[in-house]
Amino acid sequence: MIRTIARYGARHVSGSMLAALKAVFRGDGLRGSSIQEFEKQFAAYHGMQHALSASYGRMAFYYTLKALDLPRDSEIIFPALTFWAVPEMARALGFRPKFVDIDPGTFNLDPAKFDVAITPDTRAVVPTHLYGQPCDMDPIMASARAHGLVVVEDCAHALGATYKGRKVGAFGDAAFLRSTSHRSSVITI
Ligand SMILES: Cc1ncc(COP(=O)(O)O)c(C=O)c1O
């Protein structure tokens, strides 16, 4: 059964706005101990070793791609249904975005179509967990590992979503997540 979540809408954890405002007034809103504490707790919540805050989801992806240092002109696979700014970051860095069809039942990357789309120039794939629904990560990871691809999960819609009991973002080599209401983003590795 498809159980998608709304793309927009403010959902605040009680007390979070006050904590954020206090951090801003302490001069701790962009850097400093509050951010470090947030990153520590975020990484622990996601079962990851590290989490780093970024201004936007697209910037989190941009920094991740830069850190990966893939060869220029590398092909990077994206689902055909995604947010345009994400493949645009890859193009801006000199990579070639390649779009692979989605499964119309889940709106996510079709694992079988992904597998046959891989070429010798493909270096990475960005499984995108759209509308809170996890991608089918087992076959995606199997294909990616068989071809030595880097996997960067786009979890912008799926903070806290799970696939077979594990939080999304914990499958690939890196992930980026986004809080819609606060417009902040986090990279996890
Ligand atoms: C699937 C998906 N990935 C990434 C992003 C990028 O997030 P941001 O707008 O914070 O750059 C969005 C934004 O809507 C998105 O929908």
Beta bridge partners of residue 51, listed in sequence order: 188
| Cα Rg of the chain, angstroms | 17
In a domain, 74, yes or no: yes
Both structure tokens of 138: 């087992």
One-letter amino acid identity for 105?
G
Instruction: Name the residue among 91, 76, 94, 75 with its Cα closest to residue 154.
Output: 76
Q: What is the 3-state secondary structure (H, E, C) of 137-148?
A: HHHHHHHHHHCC
Q: Which residues contact 120 (CB under 8 A, 6 or more apart)?
A: none
156 alpha carbon to ligand 1 midpoint, in Å?
A: 6
CATH number at residue 57: 3.40.640.10
Task: Kindly tell me if the per-residue pLDDT of 129 is higher than 70.
Answer: yes
Is 29 domain-assigned?
Answer: no
- How many domains, in total, are found in the chain? 1
Q: Is the pLDDT of residue 12 over 80?
A: no
Q: Which atom of ligand 1 is nearest to the CA of 130?
A: 1
**Which residues have a Cβ under 8 Å from the Cβ of 54 and sit 6 or more positions away?**
60, 63, 176, 184, 185, 186, 187
Residue 182's pLDDT is: 43
Provide the whole-model pTM.
0.90
Residue 7 alpha carbon, nearest atom of ligand 1: 16
> Is 32 a member of any domain?
no
Residue 17 belongs to a domain: no
Within a domain: 154: yes
Is 71 a member of any domain? yes
Q: What pLDDT was estimated at residue 138?
A: 98
C-alpha–C-alpha distance, residues 130 and 64, integer Å = 20
State the residue range of the domain holding 87: 47-188
Lining ligand 1 with CB less than 6 A are 56-58, 82-83, 85-86, 128, 154, 156-157, 178, 185
Spatial CA neighbour of 185 closest among 149, 150, 158: 158
Evaluate whether residue 30 is within a structural domain.
Answer: no
Instruction: Please write the tens of the pLDDT for every residue from 150-182.
Output: 999 999 999 889 999 999 999 999 999 987 544
Q: Which of 5, 55, 154 to mutate to test the pocket of ligand 1 (most atoms within 8 A of CB)?
A: 154
Note the Cα 47 to chain centre separation in Å: 15
Examine residue 123 and state whether it is found in any structural domain, yes or no: yes
